[in-house]
Amino acid sequence: MERTERRAATRAEVRPATPRQRATRAARNGGEPTLEFTGRVPYDAYVHASTLHRLQAPLSSDPGEMSFLVISQIMELYFNLTCHELRETQQLLRADRVREALSPLRRAALHLEGLNAAWRSLRWMTPADFNRFRNLLGEGSGFQSAMYRHLELLLGLRDPALIRPFRRQSEVHAELTAALNAPSLWDDVLALLARQGYDLPRELLGRDVAEEHQPHPAVEAAWVQIYTDGPDNQLRMLGEALSEVAEWFGDWRWHHVKAVQRTMGAKVGSGGSAGLAWLQRSMARVVFPELWSARTAM
């Protein structure tokens, strides 16, 4: 409801324009941009830039904290955007529209590439730089990102314990619980393969989706067959697009590990974990596992 209301408010402020209207305006302006508006600047009404730029509230006077805070917010936006693309992919796959599903999936990979690039803006940060404001963050930790948890759940990484921190935020917790109990993108891919005639066991397709998928030889065999069928096979194209998403996501986790090593070494994490060691262990959980193991048999 809130998003619908915001959309309606934006539409009221951003008036549609036809090509003819744009041409007329350009002619009237002599090729110069419009400088007078009766109300809010349309760009700000659409992008809400003035709102975005008021969302930073550093806890210290250290100038480097602003970089840390803004990059964290940029990553949150990328998490949300990637989730949006993966949900669109799911809807298309459920309708057996495989070729159409490639577009949002490829966009998701590009968003993850941008997400990875965000780490480069923090390469200046040494332990001394981070320590100037780290204590002020208290227990605040990227581990507590609800949108990152959504992304993991969509990709098939399922651990019910990781949504417990949000129990006191009822709306966020309800959304994460719903995501946990809904099929992941990989679950939808397996269902698609079964509908396409690949022999996947019933117990695999009917399992409790809240539990993390365990690699299965029948899924691996299906992907070996798909890749054998030639480069024009839509399912092979799907496999490559999924591989791209998984690879960029893995790169992001690796860059996270390196950023932690650079800024705090093996110190314990702000959120109560073992920090670096916990992140390294989490990387062992592979996204779309049979897509990778199948390559050994191709």
Pick the residue with more confidence: 57 or 25? 57
Amino acid at position 85, single letter: E
Give the pLDDT score at 212.
Answer: 92
Reported as a pLDDT band with limits 50, 70 and 90, residue 271 is low
Reported as a pLDDT band with limits 50, 70 and 90, residue 79 is very high
Mean pLDDT across the chain, nearest whole number?
Answer: 91
CATH topology of domain 65-129+143-296: Methane Monooxygenase Hydroxylase; Chain G, domain 1 (1.20.58)
| pLDDT at 196 > cutoff 70 | yes
Average pLDDT of the residues in 260-282:
71
| pLDDT at 272 > cutoff 60 | no
Alpha carbons 188 and 195: distance in angstroms, whole number = 11
- Beta-carbon contacts of 245 under 8 Å, excluding residues fewer than 6 positions away, are 86, 105, 108, 109, 112, 155, 287, 288
Alpha carbons 9 and 86: distance in angstroms, whole number = 27
Give the pLDDT score at 224.
Answer: 96
In angstroms, the Cα distances linking 257 to 51, 98, 106, 235, 277 are 32, 34, 25, 33, 9
Determine if residue 216 is labeled as part of a ligand binding site.
no
Give the pLDDT score at 35.
Answer: 85
Give the pLDDT score at 40.
Answer: 87
Q: What percent of the chain has pLDDT over 70?
A: 94
| pLDDT at 277 > cutoff 80 | no
Alpha carbons 143 and 149: distance in angstroms, whole number = 9
Where is mean pLDDT largest: 210-214, 261-265, 270-274? 210-214
Helical packing angle, 146-155 and 185-195, nearest 10°? 20
- The model carries a pTM of 0.91
Determine if residue 134 is labeled as part of a ligand binding site.
yes
Asked if residues 212 and 80 have their Cβ atoms less than 8 Å apart, the reply is no
Alpha carbons 196 and 77: distance in angstroms, whole number = 35
Where is mean pLDDT largest: 24-38, 127-141, 165-179, 281-295? 165-179
Each domain of the chain, given as residue ranges in start order, spans: 65-129+143-296
Give the pLDDT score at 206.
Answer: 93
Average pLDDT of the residues in 54-80:
96
Structure tokens at 236: 């092979």
Place of tokens 């996270």: 256
Place of tokens 């117990």: 203
| pLDDT at 1 > cutoff 70 | no
Give the pLDDT score at 269.
Answer: 59
pLDDT in tens, 99-112: 999 999 999 999 99
Average pLDDT of the residues in 271-285:
69
